[in-house]
């Protein structure tokens, strides 16, 4: 066998090995793609099942919240709902808002009507301004805030001091 024949045989073996590697890689890629497709489908279907079960649980809770079979679970749900309402109220107050007493929606503190349910909102009474009896204390004629000596403008409302 000559050099040419040896090289042809070698090239043929290399070609066969490359073809085998390509085929193996192709099969691996197809297998990996199929596994990814199946994992995605499993994840989607699992999420759908969880949503269905969540809705079934909500329907049972809304239909019969005193169901004896689920009393312990529903009691826990009610406790958590109460805590959520309390946390929402605290968060609302920190943001300068108020909670609608009719529907629980968060509304701006100066609202008189709930923008979600239309209920009339009674504004919390603000404390009466402090009446200062001393003659030596300067008071803003517009808002009643105490003014420091020598003030040219009210620090609370910006009104010019006479």
* Per-residue pLDDT reduced to its tens digit, 128-145: 555 444 455 678 888 888
DSSP code string of 90-155: HHHHHTTEEE-TTT--EEETT-SB-TTT--B-PPPPPPPPPP---TTSEE-TTT--EE-TT-SB-T
57 CB neighbour count, 10 Å cutoff? 14
Number of residues written out for the chain: 162
Q: In the predicted model, what is the mean pLDDT of the chain? A: 84
Which of 81, 112, 111 shows the shortest CA–CA distance to 96? 111
What is the mean pLDDT of the segment spanning 7-35? 87
pLDDT digits (tens, 9 = 90+) for 40-87: 999 999 999 999 999 999 999 999 989 899 999 999 999 999 999 888
Which pairs count as long-range contacts for 123-131, CB under 8 Å and 24+ apart, including other chains?
124/98
For the chain, percent of residues with pLDDT exceeding 90: 31
């Amino acid at each position: 066998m000559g050099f040419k024949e040896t090289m042809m045989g070698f090239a043929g073996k290399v070609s066969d090995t490359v073809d085998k590697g390509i085929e193996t890689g192709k099969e691996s890629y197809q297998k990996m793609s199929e596994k990814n497709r199946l994992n995605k489908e499993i994840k989607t279907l699992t999420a759908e099942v969880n949503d269905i079960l969540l809705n079934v649980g909500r329907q049972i809770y809304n239909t019969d919240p005193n169901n004896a079979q689920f009393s312990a679970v529903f009691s826990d749900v009610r406790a958590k709902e109460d805590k959520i309402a309390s946390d929402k109220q605290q968060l609302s107050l920190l943001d300068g808002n108020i909670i609608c007493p009719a529907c629980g929606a968060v509304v701006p503190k100066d609202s008189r009507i709930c923008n979600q349910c239309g209920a009339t909102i009674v504004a919390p009474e603000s404390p009466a301004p402090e009446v200062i009896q001393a003659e030596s204390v300067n008071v803003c004629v517009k808002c009643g805030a105490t003014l420091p000596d020598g003030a040219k403008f009210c620090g609370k409302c910006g009104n010019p001091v006479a």
